[in-house]
A and B are shown apart, each in its own frame.
Chain A
Amino acid sequence: MRRVYLDHSATTPVDPEVASLMMTYYTEKYGNPSSIHSFGQEAREALEKAREQVAGFIGAQPAEITFTSGGTEADNLAILGAAEAYKDKGKHLITTAVEHHAILETFEFLAKNGYELTVLPVDEEGLLSVDGVQRAIRPDTILLSVMHANNEVGAIQPVAEIGRLAREKGVIFHVDAVQSLGKIPVNVNDLNVDMLTVSSHKIYGPKGVGALYVRKGIRLVPRVYGGGQEKKRRSGTENTPGIIGFGKACELAQARMADEAAKLTGLRDRLMDGILERIDFVKVNGPRGAKRLPNNVNVSVQYVEGESLLLSLDMVGIAASSGSACTSGSLDPSHVLLAMGMPHEIAHGSLRFSLGRQNTEEDVDYVLEQLPKIVERLRRMSPLFDQMQREAGAK
């Protein structure tokens, strides 16, 4: 059976070039980078090269990069670390309703522990208003965190403008760029950020590796104590093979990004337009055009439920994801779709396809051939579809 992977926002395969480079650092150059012997020093050298590669990709200085175990840890370090370091200046924090759980849950923890939290709403396309951010900033605001691009609906936030505003007001600005890195330009200077989170496994690097960019001069209290690695910001023996893989993945992504983004945008629009053409009662979630990530397609298929769609797609070899309650692990559908004002029943029928490096037009056309049949089968079973048709008939 044909297998089509369209869940690259969940994770990507490791590039073979990255994997083979990593293997050397597991089996041959396995030294601890803190050791002074040659085994340690060859690992140290490769680790620092990776730091330069990651820094170079986002326009930072190598010394401003702290490696972590992934995006979640980098988000936690940024928020908890800055909140603690600047608590004497104020205790007000700002974020948005559509952030990743790694951000939201961390802020919620602080809100239960003596901080005050403002969660900004988004419009029906999932976009934040710069004016809204301006109004939310107070004299005691110390930290503002806004994602660069949304993982579910691909909405790209006006981060550079928000960053300018934050800088004017003296508020530390953190950006979660896990989904945008490698797809659209991410430059810490252009975006006016103070801290920025990136993750390796979303850009064809290994899982379990991420990094936090911290602009020189920003103070951060560590969350992990121990041997003082990563300039005391994050103790623990470095995941050398993983970090080196991440560095290589950044180098490859940097070289390929422009071509890849153009190709993915073409596939994205072919898939989105194709779905709208072939299936009735479908709604696009998130913005269209330049304000959307080049690889993200998110639609709500009305009168059917997301998990049923995913299971049916999986049976014909297509991997996608959904914001339905059944797939979110809670009783509510995706917090992102709800924040965009979508009714529960439509959010339950949401379907995300996230395209990647190996996808082809044939992959897209295979989805366009299979999905209408699946939707038709599920709608035949759906009492809601029934009801809608009956009501439409009565009119």
Chain B
Amino acid sequence: MYTEKVMDHFTNPRNVGEIPDADGVGEVGNPKCGDIMRIYLDIEGDTIKDVKFKTFGCGAAVATSSMVTEMVKGKTITEALDISNAAVAEALGGLPPNKLHCSNLAADALHAAIKDYYDKQEKAKG
């Protein structure tokens, strides 16, 4: 049902955890539908220095979270904003059709974290 790559990311997820005092935190999903993804970003200048995630959800939810952290680490914010949910699924060698909607939200979580970073910057400027 899942590709080898999905199973690899599910079994050995990259960058699990959280970043204390992260520059940006994004969360999508809700417990009712069975998926929650939270992404933490450490940003220096324009670059994503570090990224961690925590996810409650199915195999696809865990694998896409793990994959997006791998895709975005060391990238600029502009590059990160270009990553789509579809690109994450593609990087995993595809997802079963029924997972493309409900569990493929990792890029949304990433973008929410970037938005949180911008909001915090705005606030700091006052």
Contact = CB atoms under 8 A, between A and B. Distances in A.
Interface of A: 303-308, 311, 315, 324-326, 329, 331, 333, 344-345, 348, 380-386
Contacts of A303: 56
Contacts of A381: 13, 16, 54-56, 62
21 contacts: A303-B56, A304-B56, A305-B34, A305-B58, A325-B33, A325-B34, A325-B102, A326-B34, A326-B58, A326-B60, A333-B34, A344-B31, A345-B31, A348-B31, A381-B13, A382-B54, A382-B55, A383-B36, A383-B37, A383-B55, A384-B56
A305 B98 contact: no
A79 to B, nearest CB: 29
B103 interface: yes
Contacts of A383: 27, 36-38, 54-56
A324 B31 contact: no
Contacts of B31: 344-345, 348, 384
Most chain B C-beta atoms within 10 Å of own C-beta, residue among A304, A344, A381: A381
Interface residues of B, number: 29
Given A305-B56, A311-B7, 8 more contacts: A324-B34, A324-B58, A326-B60, A348-B34, A381-B54, A382-B55, A383-B37, A384-B31
Interface of B is mostly: mixed
Nearest to A311: B59
A305 B61 contact: yes
A382 B59 contact: no
B39 to A, nearest CB: 10
Contacts of A333: 34
A303 B13 CA distance: 18
A381 B62 CA distance: 9
B11 interface: yes
A325 B57 CA distance: 10
A304 B57 CA distance: 7
A384 B58 contact: no
Given A315-B11, A381-B13, A381-B16, A345 B54 contact: no
B56 A382 contact: yes
Interface in B48-67: 54-62
A308 B57 contact: yes
Contacts of A345: 31-32, 34
A193 to B, nearest CB: 37
Most chain B C-beta atoms within 10 Å of own C-beta, residue among A303, A333, A380, A384: A384
Contacts of B99: 326
Contacts of A326: 34, 58-60, 99, 102-103
Given A305-B34, A381-B16, A381-B62, A329 B57 contact: no
A385 B16 CA distance: 14
Contacts of B58: 305-308, 324, 326
A308 B36 CA distance: 13
B10 interface: yes
Nearest to B33: A331
Given A305-B34, A381-B62, A329 B55 contact: no
A303 B16 CA distance: 16
A335 to B, nearest CB: 15
B117 to A, nearest CB: 18
Contacts of A329: 98
B36 A384 contact: yes
Contacts of B34: 305, 324-326, 333, 344-345, 348
A327 to B, nearest CB: 8
A315 B35 CA distance: 22
A305 B57 contact: yes
Nearest to A315: B11
A383 B57 CA distance: 10
B27 A344 contact: no
Contacts of B55: 381-383
Closest 9 CB pairs of A and B: A345-B31, A307-B58, A326-B58, A348-B34, A383-B54, A344-B32, A382-B56, A383-B38, A311-B59
A234 B85 CA distance: 50
Contacts of B2: 311
A307 B59 contact: yes
Nearest to B61: A305
Contacts of A311: 2, 7, 10, 59
A202 to B, nearest CB: 24
Nearest to B29: A383
Nearest to A325: B34
Contacts of B38: 383
B73 to A, nearest CB: 18
